[in-house]
Chains A and B, each alone.
Chain A
Amino acid sequence: MTSETGFDVRKYDRFPTEGSRPDGELEQLEAAWCGPRRPGEWITAINNNIIGVYYVGAAMLFFVLAGVLALLMRTQLALPMTGFLPQETYNQIFTMHGTVMMFLFAVPAVEALGVLLLPQMLGARDLPFPRLGAYAFWAYLIGGLAFFCSLFFGLAPDGGWFMYPPLTGMTYSPGINADFWLLGIGFIEISAIAGAIEIIVGVLKTRAPGMTLDKLPVFPWAMLIFACMIIIAFPSVILATLLLELERALGWPFFDPLKGGDPMLWQHLFWFFGHPEVYIIFLPAAGAMSTIIPAMARTRLVGQPLVVMAMLATGFISFGVWAHHMFTTGMPQISINYFSAASMAVSVPAGVQVFAWIATIAAGKMRFSTPGLFAVGGLIIFVMGGLTGVMVAMVPFDWQAHDSYFIVAHLHYVLIGGMVFPMFAAIYYWLPMSSVRPLSERMGKWIFWLMFAGHNIAFMPMHLTGLMGMPRRVYTYLPGRGWDLPNFISTIGAFLFGLAVLLWVIDMIRNFRPFGPREAGNIHDGPGLEWLPSGYYSVRSVPVVKSLYPLWEQKGLAKEVEEGRWFLPGAAGGERQTLVTSPLNAEPQYVLRLPRPSPWHVFGAVFTAGFFLILTIQAYAVAVVSGVLAIYCIMRWCWFLDAPHNRKTTDIGAGIRMPNYVSGPSSHGWWAMVIVLIVGGMVCLLAGFSYVFLWSRRPDLWQASPAMASLMLHLGVLALAGLCAAVAPRMLRRARTGAETLATALLVVSAVGAATAVGLELRAWWSAGLKPDATSQGAAVFALLGWAGAFAGIGVLMGLYILLRRAFGRLSADRPSTVDLIGLFLAYTAGQAAMVLLLIRLFPGAGP
């Protein structure tokens, strides 16, 4: 095998090591990774074993809450023209049910599963950015709870979970209800993106040595694709919520047809996120199925490369299906047909996975324990949802089924079969990893059958109510149309489902005991690394992976791992460390020092959430204070990054020494920054699409751009800014004297330059008479410049940060990462601003 990094893989043969481990090594490891000792440390904790459990728990809390809302709705709809819920309450409740299930349960739940399981599955001690993960969790929990509570004050959004303007615009939704959705959800998306960065870098860079792509288990594969999809899809909803909030707060007409806006722009942006979202939810769940089914059937996954291919294909094709939510909007027929074809294509990979699961069940011998039951039940329900999915992918049928209860049935079959059942299977399967006691098998079977029956009784009749003409999102219906009986049956089914969830909650209270001294362990005889004996430090030593099913095929592995005979058996210098490996062949590259618990990320999360929520209730001064505090806390947190090391290298076992520090493209920080910039670039790209889209609707409203001479000047300043940012890291490494000062100066010049150029450009447009609230062109131009300006503004904050670091002597040519990453960010900022300028000046035509 050729080496990816120059690491000699024959060194793997030195393991497992012989002889006894030094005294005190295990104690030092345990001390470095000790759990919370004081009550406050349960909040400042960052270990994925703790945060992961919180995270899954919070997601399931929102599942239960949104489920209660569903029961309220089903009670209202049990009979025609009932007055159980007033109309406005019902409208808020159905909006919240969809929103909470999608944004506060489904995405966070699978992300939480990733945070909890990935390090153990990959043989890492923790994820590469534990504080970022904890920050994302706290922001999500606080933001989510506050968002949910808006329901109790009658302030919950009521525009449906996809919030179509103009209904959600200021004219038709004057209250702050819609703002809760836009700011609350927009903010929770940021937390989802933070989680995605963590997962991508974790899967690519912190795998156990030898875990090449073909030996990477299917669940991490799914999480990797999931996280990449978040990076591509979520910018779209972030942009959409930004634009709608700008329209609501400042009157910038993106969606108002009277001033050149178009409500269809929202639909394109929302569904470009919204449909991939379904697969974003489904893929990790499918990955869990592909892990649980082989374990339950005690055999290898049949067609594993096909399954991975199917997941990759799903990831791609799901971005080509967004407009199948828009077949009835009067889009050109040929475009609609493309989306119809793509919608069919996306069902092929789903079929591959379903048949791979069936073949695996046939190849082995399925055990009907609770995880097995949920897996098989989920498979059946998902297939039925997939079949109705093919039906609604057919344009003529969709014209009838669209926005009717048929769709309600379809989406619940897909999401419950494709995500909720696998989620329960995953909880039953992996819970013994985190709990002293497993859940009750007897109760589990009851829960499964109640849920399976309840689901079908609730949602099967909805296909019929849809064909009978019942539209979705109705708070009541008239008698005499034959809708009464199927609705009544649906309500019974919903309550059976609710009963199943209630039993599960009871069983969790009875048996779930996390953070104990020992876990129930590998009661299912699972094959993955996550079943190795572990503590808060994850595995005692990190094994070389030689198989896709290491615990089945590498005999004696558990014992050797526990005896510390593999990589990184201790905590050198009492530090928390994990091994960073190369992205393709997982060859060891360096030892990453992980942070310890601290309160700053928690405060940062509190104030970030505070900023957005207080903004919603329009207490602007308080919001600004909260925002400044958030920036302060995050800077405090960053202050400890890139700190000096006592030792240059660490012995990772068998006399192999690895550096403690690297910079540049091998480092985990570099990967994370690149991913952040991809997110920024996606938002900018989609904003550019919006600009062109709005132009195509009303070219007559477009005015000429300012004089060309100013464009040249601004581009020149940006080129200078980009150049400074690009050379700063090189100067830091090369300059003989004053390297730190020179690099700092270059970065500050770059940040100020980019901000100046964007500011000058804004002034040029303003004096040319373009106003953001007058026409769609004004709105689009100022939004694009605003985005570029926001990056420049963050760049200025980074400039301030690097100045402070220089002043306090926390910058060194030996540790160039800080300068590298800020340089990368600023170079991107200048490039992005230049692209924005070129677009708004030269399209559709150059000015005088």
Chain B
Amino acid sequence: MTAGLLIWAAHFVGLYLLASAADVWSSTEAAAGRWVGLGFSLLCLALIAVAAIVIARRPVPDGPGLWERRVALTGAFVAAVGVTWQTTPLAF
């Protein structure tokens, strides 16, 4: 139910650590760090998409299952928006 949001959290922590590590070690490799960050973001977006598809396809016969699926899918949507926004700073 919280798969999307968990991926958001992993993405956030990953980008933060990446930025901090880049700041500690050197500023010359900043460009490389940005590409790594972009790759990581795309990976997370893909993971969210996969999670959403898996959740959407899983057969659920009853009320609670349907309800959980709705929560999971909208959560994945918000997580995807969050990951996309987190990625924009890489361009600046």
Contact = CB atoms under 8 A, between A and B. Distances in A.
A touching B, CB within 8 angstroms: yes
A337 B2 contact: no
A312 B67 contact: no
A787 B5 CA distance: 31
11 contacts: A213-B68, A215-B64, A306-B70, A309-B71, A319-B12, A332-B23, A334-B90, A337-B92, A338-B16, A341-B88, A345-B81
A340 B15 CA distance: 13
Contacts of A335: 16, 19-20, 23
Given A213-B64, A316-B9, A334-B89, 5 more contacts: A213-B1, A214-B63, A319-B12, A335-B23, A338-B89
Contacts of B81: 345, 348
B8 to A, nearest CB: 6
B38 to A, nearest CB: 12
A258 interface: no
B71 to A, nearest CB: 5
B68 to A, nearest CB: 6
A48 to B, nearest CB: 27
Contacts of B34: 334
Contact of A338 (B6, B64, B79, B86): B86
B88 to A, nearest CB: 6
A342 B5 contact: no
Given A212-B64, A213-B64, A213-B68, A313 B79 contact: yes
B62 interface: yes
- For chain B, the bracket of interface size reads 35 or more
Interface string A202-239: 00000000001111000000000000000000000000
B24 interface: yes
Contacts of B56: none
A322 to B, nearest CB: 10
Interface in A334-367: 334-335, 337-338, 340-342, 344-345, 348-349
A348 B78 contact: yes
- For chain A, the bracket of interface size reads 20 to 34
Specify the main secondary structure of chain B where it touches its partner: helix
Residue from A309, A312, A696 with most neighbouring chain B CB atoms (10 Å): A309
B12 A312 contact: no
A135 B22 CA distance: 47
Contacts of B15: 338
B37 to A, nearest CB: 8
A176 B34 CA distance: 47
Interface string B49-92: 00000000000011110111011001100110110011011101
Nearest to A320: B12
Contacts of B79: 313, 316
Nearest to A212: B64
B20 A305 contact: no
Contacts of A309: 70-71, 74-75, 78
Interface string B10-26: 00100110011011100
B27 to A, nearest CB: 9
A348 B79 CA distance: 11
B74 A305 contact: yes
A264 B63 CA distance: 49
Contact of B2 (A316, A344, A348): A316
Interface of B: 1-2, 5-6, 8-9, 12, 15-16, 19-20, 22-24, 30, 34, 61-64, 66-68, 70-71, 74-75, 78-79, 81-82, 85-86, 88-90, 92
A1 B71 contact: no
Contacts of A312: 1-2, 5, 71, 75
A585 interface: yes
A349 B22 CA distance: 31
Given A214-B67, A332-B19, A337 B74 contact: no
Nearest to A584: B64
Contacts of A349: 78
A317 interface: yes
A313 B78 contact: yes
Contacts of A333: 92
A308 interface: yes
B89 A340 contact: yes
Contacts of B22: 332, 334
B19 A334 contact: yes
A1 B30 CA distance: 53
Interface of A: 1, 212-215, 305-306, 308-310, 312-313, 316-317, 319-320, 332-335, 337-338, 340-342, 344-345, 348-349, 584-585, 696
Contacts of A215: 64
A217 B3 CA distance: 22
Nearest to B78: A313
A342 B89 contact: no
Contacts of B78: 309-310, 313, 345, 348-349
B48 to A, nearest CB: 13
Top 6 A-B residue pairs of the complex, sorted by shortest distance between their CB atoms: A337-B89, A214-B67, A341-B85, A212-B64, A345-B82, A305-B70
A696 B17 CA distance: 12
B42 to A, nearest CB: 16
Contacts of B1: 213, 312
Nearest to B85: A341
Contact of B67 (A305, A320, A344, A585): A305
Nearest to A332: B23
Contacts of A317: 5, 8, 82
Given A332-B19, A334-B89, A345-B82, A316 B8 contact: yes
A308 B16 contact: no
Nearest to A215: B64
Given A341-B85, A342-B82, A308 B71 contact: yes
Given A309-B71, A312-B5, A342 B23 contact: no
A14 B16 CA distance: 55
A585 B79 CA distance: 26
A215 B74 CA distance: 18
Contacts of B90: 334
Contacts of B74: 305-306, 309
Given A334-B19, A335-B23, A214 B82 contact: no
A813 to B, nearest CB: 38
A313 B75 contact: yes
A342 B86 contact: yes
A584 to B, nearest CB: 8
Contacts of B66: 214
Nearest to B62: A1
Contacts of B16: 320, 335, 338
A332 to B, nearest CB: 5
A306 B70 CA distance: 8
A394 B39 CA distance: 26
Given A305-B74, A317-B82, A319-B9, A341 B67 contact: no
A317 B70 CA distance: 19
Contacts of A342: 12, 82, 85-86
A340 B71 CA distance: 26
Contacts of B24: 696
Residue from A310, A320, A348 with most neighbouring chain B CB atoms (10 Å): A320
B21 to A, nearest CB: 9
Contacts of A320: 9, 12, 16
Contacts of B92: 333, 337
Contacts of A344: 85
B64 A214 contact: yes
Contacts of B20: 332, 335, 696
Contact of A316 (B5, B30, B67, B85): B5
